[in-house]
Structure 1
Amino acid sequence: MRVLMMAHPGTNSRDILLDVESGFRQAGHGVIRWEFEPMQRLVSQVAQPQGRAVLAGGIGEIVRSLVESNGIDFTIAMWANGLMSFGMSPGPSGTTPASFFERTRIRHVLLWLDAPHWAHQGGIAPLFRSSVLAESRLFHVINNRGLADEMRDVLGFGRVLARRYGVNPEVFKPWPGVTPRHDIVFNLGPGDPEPTDAMVRALESDDPDLDAIRREASAGARRRMGAAAAEAGGGDEPGMDALLDAWIGSQIESPGTPVLDRLAAVVEQDPGLAGAMQWLKKNPKVFVQIAECARSIERCRRAFTITYLSKHFDCAVFGDDALEGWPHNAKRYGGVPYHELSKMYGMGRLALNTMRWQDDIGLNLKPFEITASGTACLCERRGGLEELFDIGTEIAAFGSPGGARRVASELLASPEKLSAMAEAGRARTLRDHTWARWADDVCAFVAGEGGSV
């Protein structure tokens, strides 16, 4: 197929998108790149909204001509960059708003590296449950089934493909001349909360009870959930309090089960809560806010695990300046360019992957980056992990900070097993988890949903 890649300016997210572009090329597809930056610069020079809309429309005509003259099968951009750049205008009926892609009959793939729930600083929220997100020429791709179900069933998206991320083996590969200097390395990210006194005390335990910390945090989360529902007018909805109680309870007991699956089981057990559930689905902004409150009890997982392990192993961290206030003992390497991440992964005998759990299942990019770089991955257990890697052979998994310490100790005591796992994990990723494989699946998704292209 022939693809028009719409590239946004920036650093890491742009580099990831360009790796996706490489994946299409590696899979044998034709790619042309369109840069958003000149368009954004031109539009920013126009003061009046009406003038900016006219200019964006004119640039859209250039894109339409480029697509037609080059036989492009579909365009692709990260998040809603393409959707928002060209604006909404009346469709063929003259009344219902339609995207540029619907009006010009161009198929467009939206790669949601961050879920639409919070992407664009919440800027996509006004489109929830609108006809635009359900348009036939928009094809949404997200990395796990749980979020895909929320996008379809709550936010009103149309075509959504749940497809794991990939990696570019030309970028992520063993770095020449690098040998491990540390037991464990970790690539930091933003958004960690500062530790509470209870967390700091728990870090001194040989086997910390993270569930106790989560339960303690759940009381505040439940209050915020109720406040969000009440502020939107749903507090008096019959069964709402009981539904929210069940929601936070299920978050404590089964955080690795998709929330819609958990809530469906709750309603099946108590049909009297169905009305409250329907109210939440009809009010997607409130659903998103409440889901964020419930999942907030997981936010400490990443920073807690890193800090705990740093007290027992030689650890190093790199990337964003995170872990504010956490009493960790890890060596800091600071920011690292995207194309040198594999070098940093290679400095660890193990590379850790643990998350803040903004969603319920699926993996972020790091396990694929780590394994492709030739380092054994110590990964927090998440729903779907066992479908992507053979646990214990291709990747190491843990379910708690204490569990991570035990697994790491066993692996570090057996260099042969550690080396075999690194080799097996890399082989699995190169076989199944590249952007080239992703590109082929996305092409099939577009062709299958819309007919032959």
Structure 2
Amino acid sequence: MDQRAEPPSGVRLLVLLNPGRMSRHWLLGIARGAERMGILAGTLELGPIWQAVQQAGSQHSRVREQAGEHLKAFCLHERVTHVLSYTHNGVFDFGMSPDPATGQPAGLFASLGIEHILLWSDHPNWASDGIATTEPVRTLLNHPRHHHFVKSAVAAEEIRTVLGWANVRAMDMGEDMLMICPDDHALALEPMHDATIIMGDAAPIPERLHPFLAEDDPDVSAMMRAMLAGTLEGCARVVEPWGLDAAMAERCRGLCEAMCAARIGQPMTPFWELCNGLGSEHTETIAMVRADPQRWYTLMHALHALTGWRRFFWPAWLGRRANLGVYGSPGSRMGLADMDEGAWVQNKAMASVYARGACAININAAHDEAGMTHKPFQIASAGVAPVHHATPGLEDAFTPGEECIIWTNGPELLDAVRRLRADRALRRRMGERARERCIRDHTWEHRLSVMLEACARPAAASAFA
């Protein structure tokens, strides 16, 4: 770890680096941001530790404990005050230790009095097959030294209610402006495409939505109604193994129907908020489902089929009316051309790929109902004009019309793409303003300041003060 004099805050940060693509990119950006802030920061590679434990066979517990002892000695020697990881990495990787305050089992860092910041890019139910929703993991992650960060206030409220975690806060993602920089050469050239989109999960359009691809102004509510029967069938498959009596099973069906009807009427409102507003008729059923986190999150996953088509439908629709370059996965899955053989776009190439279009499109996945994923910040970092599907919270991060264009339907999307393609000065100005806004408000330095300030205990209260 860097031996420079400690900054006034006294923070000594250890960032746990996991193997991966995007999550590793974020963690490296945070570590670099910490150094630029004058924070003493080090990194630990988890991959070799995981590999050693896996290869140890029947001796895996001993190897894990040995790694934990070495890491404990390191933390004591370096007087680490804060650890930051992606999801629950680092909580269970080094065995359990007794918490000095309660005597109950705790992860290594919590047992040492170190504040552990857990960055969740999505709801905790997706990671490691939903282990965070099961006991005893759910309770262990609720340790007061654990500080969870998710992308929206709605998601934070949902997690506090369903999982019972006290320290959950909303925070947008960020970007390292020095890791993704505008490709000035590419931006100076005539764009290859009217628009680009980078998505690693391109998928076929549901067959029942194919007729809407030919419409110049597809009705969003009509498309949701077209997906309604399949969505309710998926909900029924989720509920069936619960073993409910006939009356409660019927109430569950009624709840799902009510939530779908509410979402069709308010397509931009997250299911959590819609559920809270359904009234006394469904109170008992909602309480029953929310009492079991696995039930709640699997049911929510099924309900997202009502809107999950948007991420794939709109690129397919636009690609039939404009030159859309789909990168990161095969565009042929959506009936469009494959770019670069559908290969994954490396982080170092993102700015150049985005610059191949006069603008860049972003559409959140269905489960990202509110808040900011990393995509808006990556597009802005590249200095390319951002064209975003409407998402609650987006207008707080970027000024519509100046730093981005927000759209809700096909004609708005097509108009934005055509305007930016036709007006070079407009798209350059918007891309530059978006990047300037990122530098001003959305770097990992900004986010790290938020995370450190939100930790329940200051560094001076740790075991190493």
Residue from 399, 403, 414 that aligns with 2:423: 414
Aligned to 1:247: 259
**1:237-280: per-residue Cα shift (whole Å, max 9, x none)?**
3843332221222232224223222111113xxx2422211111
CA–CA distance in structure 2, aligned partners of residues 23 and 126 of structure 1: 34
2:195 is the counterpart of 1:184: yes
SS in 2 for 1:177: helix
CA–CA distance in structure 1, aligned partners of residues 76 and 244 of structure 2: 48
**1:58-91: per-residue Cα shift (whole Å, max 9, x none)?**
2112222212211211111111121231244665
- Measured after TM superposition, the shift of residue 452 of structure 1 is 5.8
Aligned to 2:411: 402
Residue from 113, 117, 122 that aligns with 1:114: 122
- Measured after TM superposition, the shift of residue 203 of structure 1 is 1.1
84-93 vs 178-187, greater mean Cα deviation: 84-93
2:370 is the counterpart of 1:361: yes
> Closer, same or farther in 2 for the Cα pair 1:376/1:300, shift >3 Å?
same
> Closer, same or farther in 2 for the Cα pair 1:233/1:254, shift >3 Å?
farther
308-317 vs 278-287, greater mean Cα deviation: 308-317
Aligned to 2:4: none
Q: Which amino acid aligns with 1:78?
A: Y
Aligned to 1:263: 275
Aligned to 2:6: none
Aligned to 1:41: 51
100-109 vs 346-355, greater mean Cα deviation: 100-109
CA–CA distance in structure 1, aligned partners of residues 437 and 130 of structure 2: 36
- Measured after TM superposition, the shift of residue 321 of structure 1 is 3.3
> Closer, same or farther in 2 for the Cα pair 1:63/1:27, shift >3 Å?
same
Q: Which amino acid aligns with 2:111?
A: R
Aligned to 1:159: 167
Please tell me whether the aligned partners of residues 152 and 158 of structure 1 are also in contact (alpha carbons under 8 angstroms).
yes
Residue from 429, 447, 462 that aligns with 1:438: 447
- Measured after TM superposition, the shift of residue 353 of structure 1 is 0.5
**1:261-340 counterparts in 2 under 5 A?**
261-267=273-279, 271-321=280-330, 324=333, 326-329=334-337, 331-332=339-340, 334-340=343-349
Aligned to 1:20: 30
Aligned to 1:425: 434
Aligned to 1:102: 110
Please tell me whether the aligned partners of residues 194 and 324 of structure 2 are also in contact (alpha carbons under 8 angstroms).
yes
2:216 is the counterpart of 1:233: no
- Measured after TM superposition, the shift of residue 291 of structure 1 is 0.4
CA–CA distance in structure 2, aligned partners of residues 163 and 222 of structure 1: 32
TM-align CA RMSD: 2.4
Please tell me whether the aligned partners of residues 29 and 176 of structure 2 are also in contact (alpha carbons under 8 angstroms).
yes
- Measured after TM superposition, the shift of residue 103 of structure 1 is 2.5
28-37 vs 433-442, greater mean Cα deviation: 28-37
Q: Which amino acid aligns with 2:198?
A: N
**1:381-407: per-residue Cα shift (whole Å, max 9, x none)?**
100111111111110010023321122
Residue from 226, 230, 234 that aligns with 1:224: 234
Identity between Structure 1 and Structure 2 (%): 24
2:15 is the counterpart of 1:5: yes
Residue from 383, 391, 399 that aligns with 1:382: 391
SS in 1 for 2:345: coil
> Closer, same or farther in 2 for the Cα pair 1:366/1:283, shift >3 Å?
same
Please tell me whether the aligned partners of residues 132 and 138 of structure 2 are also in contact (alpha carbons under 8 angstroms).
no
Q: Which amino acid aligns with 1:183?
A: D
> Closer, same or farther in 2 for the Cα pair 1:89/1:52, shift >3 Å?
farther
- Measured after TM superposition, the shift of residue 365 of structure 1 is 0.9
- Measured after TM superposition, the shift of residue 417 of structure 1 is 2.2
Q: Which amino acid aligns with 1:352?
A: I
- Measured after TM superposition, the shift of residue 234 of structure 1 is 4.2
Q: Structure 1 length normalisation: TM-score?
A: 0.91
Q: Which amino acid aligns with 2:196?
A: V
Please tell me whether the aligned partners of residues 121 and 373 of structure 2 are also in contact (alpha carbons under 8 angstroms).
no
CA–CA distance in structure 1, aligned partners of residues 459 and 235 of structure 2: 39
Aligned to 2:225: 215
SS in 2 for 1:82: coil
CA–CA distance in structure 1, aligned partners of residues 39 and 116 of structure 2: 16
> Closer, same or farther in 2 for the Cα pair 1:128/1:302, shift >3 Å?
farther
27-36 vs 115-124, greater mean Cα deviation: 115-124
CA–CA distance in structure 1, aligned partners of residues 156 and 331 of structure 2: 29
SS in 2 for 1:244: helix
* Structure 2, unpaired ranges of 5+: 1-10
Please tell me whether the aligned partners of residues 200 and 344 of structure 2 are also in contact (alpha carbons under 8 angstroms).
no
Q: How many residues align?
A: 446
Aligned to 1:203: 213
CA–CA distance in structure 2, aligned partners of residues 255 and 90 of structure 1: 47
- Measured after TM superposition, the shift of residue 350 of structure 1 is 0.2
- Measured after TM superposition, the shift of residue 331 of structure 1 is 4.4
Please tell me whether the aligned partners of residues 362 and 383 of structure 1 are also in contact (alpha carbons under 8 angstroms).
yes
> Closer, same or farther in 2 for the Cα pair 1:332/1:204, shift >3 Å?
farther
- Measured after TM superposition, the shift of residue 341 of structure 1 is 0.6
> Closer, same or farther in 2 for the Cα pair 1:146/1:450, shift >3 Å?
farther
Please tell me whether the aligned partners of residues 152 and 160 of structure 1 are also in contact (alpha carbons under 8 angstroms).
yes
